[in-house]
Amino acid sequence: KDQVFQPSTVASSEGAVVEIFCNHSVSNAYNFFWYLHFPGCAPRLLVKGSKPSQQGRYNMTYERFSSSLLILQVREADAAVYYCAVCEGNTPLVFGKGTRLSVIA
């Protein structure tokens, strides 16, 4: 059953701020994890936490059951799949189905 929800696609223009929203229904999950995946490469962690945080051009907002990943000054090279994940206690991460970002020059 789906527990982590995120849009399947998001489109943005180059230079804009793009927001990818995620929400979950996992009752005891408190931490969000945002992963970036370029096809053919290993998914890698962008930002994580249980409070708003920033790593370079990546901002993470935080609410108890939702989070948004904001990518500042988006570039064509940012076109990839972004995964949101949460975990309940020490259980393995539950991932959403991923959001494919397309960037229009």
Partner 1 sequence: DSGVTQTPKHLITATGQRVTLRCSPRSGDLSVYWYQQSLDQGLQFLIQYYNGEERAKGNILERFSAQQFPDLHSELNLSSLELGDSALYFCASSLGTSGSLITGELFFGEGSRLTVL
- Mapped onto helix, strand or coil, the DSSP state of residue 61 is coil
Q: Cβ closer to partner 1: 18 or 47?
A: 47
H or E segment at 22? strand 18-24
Q: Please give the size of the binding site for partner 1, defined by CB under 8 A.
A: 27
- Segment contacting partner 1 (CB under 8 A): 14-22, 32-40, 56-64, 72-80? 32-40
Which residues, 6 or more positions from 23, have their beta carbon under 8 angstroms from its beta carbon? Answer: 4, 5, 6, 65, 66, 67
| Contact positions vs partner 1 (CB under 8 A) | 8, 31, 33, 35, 40-45, 48-50, 83, 85, 87-98
